[in-house]
Amino acid sequence: MSFHAMITRALLALAALASTTRPVGASTTVNGSGSTFAAPIMMRWASDFQKANKETKVNYQSVGSGAGVTQFLQNVTDFGASDMAMSDAEIAKADGNVILLPVTAGTIVLAYNVPGVEGLQLSRAAYVGIFLGTVTSWNDPAIASVNPGVKLPALPITVATRSDGSGTTGIFTAHLGAVSQDFTSKVGVGKSVTWPVGVAGKGNEGVTALIKQTPGSIGYVEYGYALNNKLAMASLENRAGNYIIPTIESGASTLASVNLPENFRAFITDPAGSGDYPIASFTWLLVRKNNPDPAKGAAIKEFITYGLTRGQSVAPELGYLTLPEPVVKRAQAALEAVK
């Protein structure tokens, strides 16, 4: 081979290498979308992570779990976030190129706006009845009987629900279905259901806004949204018959009783512990095992590692539950499969 031919071949090889190697100092952008339930903590992680990793930008869009799964399956995003683990059918649509990782957890509360009423307790029969539309006034005997001494007004109940496909709705309806066969048969369980009563808002943000601006309203939202908006939250009767105030501690009690299977898909529909808050869930990130862009795959792993480690420290201040250490370790091990 002539010297000229050798030089030409070497130059071609270098050009090919350059076409597949990201330039030193080039930035990487990772796009995710999904759960409004987890949006505050996801956005906080994205901001904090970027401060320490200047060359990586993480964008997160709060569009709801249903849209998050859809956008991930359509390759619109690099990762999705859902409060309902993907179904077998959804995983099949990804041709198996997906891994589900629990990264945070939280509780769903019944936030209400009833002037002059504090410390409200709701029995299982009462809150199921409210969302079935059979308990329609705040002084209904189903509510009054478990709130002695509380002056309940003869005010119509306005129920606030979700208008979009929602993991929060999926978790909430799964709990109501576990409590009441009547609810299962009349409304059903899932990320989108047809509610028999009420007004609807988009996202946890929309439901929170409806409750704030509507006297006599009650709706289901993630604990952090209610806490940060200073909404009153009802104590709910749990499976053991105790009325549990929604707090970080009562949510952590629920989480501690969960045994995650190998695929991480666990649903906490009606926890049995005496101090367990009755409505809690993990949020899963949906991540491709094999990413077309290796640099992006590496950035995704770094971001999720941050969320599972340093990111857990901000969970309580935002109204989320810190993941148990065994769950963190298992999720980190599973993350190694991402390329």
Domains in the chain: how many in total? 2
Does a structural domain hold residue 43?
Answer: yes
Q: Which residues constitute the domain of residue 150? A: 107-278
Confidence at 26, pLDDT banded by 50, 70, 90: low
Q: What is the pLDDT of residue 18?
A: 37
122 and 254 together in one domain: yes
Mean of the per-residue pLDDT values of the chain = 90
113 and 248 together in one domain: yes
First to last CA, the chain: 39
More confident residue, 257 or 321: 321
By CB atoms closer than 10 A (0-12, 13-18, 19+), residue 242 is middle
113 and 78 together in one domain: no
270 and 315 together in one domain: no
Global confidence as pTM: 0.85
pLDDT greater than 90 at residue 159:
yes
Does a structural domain hold residue 12?
Answer: no
Q: What percent of the chain has pLDDT over 90?
A: 81
pLDDT greater than 90 at residue 305:
yes
